[in-house]
Amino acid sequence: MKKAVLVVSFGTSYAETRAVTLDAIEQDFKAAFPDCDVFSAYTSNIIRRKLKERDNLNIMSPFEALNYLQENNYDHVYVQSLHIINGYEFAKIKIALLRHKDNFKKLRVGNPLLTTHDDYFAVAKALKSKFPELAEDEAVVMMGHGTDHFANACYPALERVFRTMGDRNVYIGTVEGFPEIEHVMQELEHDKVKKVVLIPLMIVSGDHATNDLAGDDEDSWKFILEKAGYEVKLQLNGMGENEEIRQMFIKHVPRMYQ
């Protein structure tokens, strides 16, 4: 029997954050599944192309990785998504699995981070453990990616879970979906918040965190919030740096793994 675990993320072209997030997750998987060979793949074609051209780094897509595992006679394959929501990127993994469904004795896939209700509470708790001490008029504003896929509902749902846990000073917005920063600012004003700590709600702290969240351009959240009079602090760690989040991905690997 030849067993493999394939961890599949969106990917990043930022080497520094990759080392402490995606690479750290891979290391944890190696420790958690000593009887498996651990491989990684990225769902983003743009990132893979960029890494190839810039760094001559070859990273497989999920489909290419399954081809590789088949060619190398792996018969038990467990694929784990490192995505946060069940959106378009996770669909790419499912399509790759469908195309390979008859090629392995066992081929299983683990769901993204925010899937069950328990996941939402566990993620909120894990994120909260890294929040700084907040003053009375201070709040955490997290930037999720956002999407036009219906899975975008995960972002307001996670914010709602923070409320249920008693955390009224955590706000979640998105770069490419709903709510946008303007919607978050309506809430901040209503709740008389004066200071905010910006934190990415993303596995890696890459391009969106560096530019869209913390950049100096006029469309960055930092710029927009400072212009509106808020005192802004930054905590630019990717969620992959959080051990509890990394362990959640390991727990998401299908049970029939044994």
Of the candidates 233, 213, 240, the one whose C-alpha atom is nearest the C-alpha of residue 224 is: 213
Using CA atoms, how far residue 44 sits from 49, 125, 182, 250, in Å, is 9, 29, 28, 22
Closest CA to 245 of 82, 8, 32, 44: 82
Question: For the sheet containing 106-110, what is the strand order?
Answer: 37-42, 3-9, 76-81, 106-110
Distance CA 42, CA 219 (A): 28
Any bridge partners for residue 205, and if so which?
A: none
The CA angle 103-93-24, to the nearest 5 degrees, is 105
* DSSP H/E element including 28: helix 22-32
83 part of the active site? no
Of 76, 100, 145, 208, which one is the catalytic site residue? 145
Q: How far apart are CA 126 and CA 84, in angstroms?
A: 14
Ranges of beta strands (E only) in the chain are 3-9, 37-42, 76-81, 106-110, 138-144, 170-174, 195-200, 231-234
The token duo for 99 is 């195309």
> Catalytic positions, please?
145
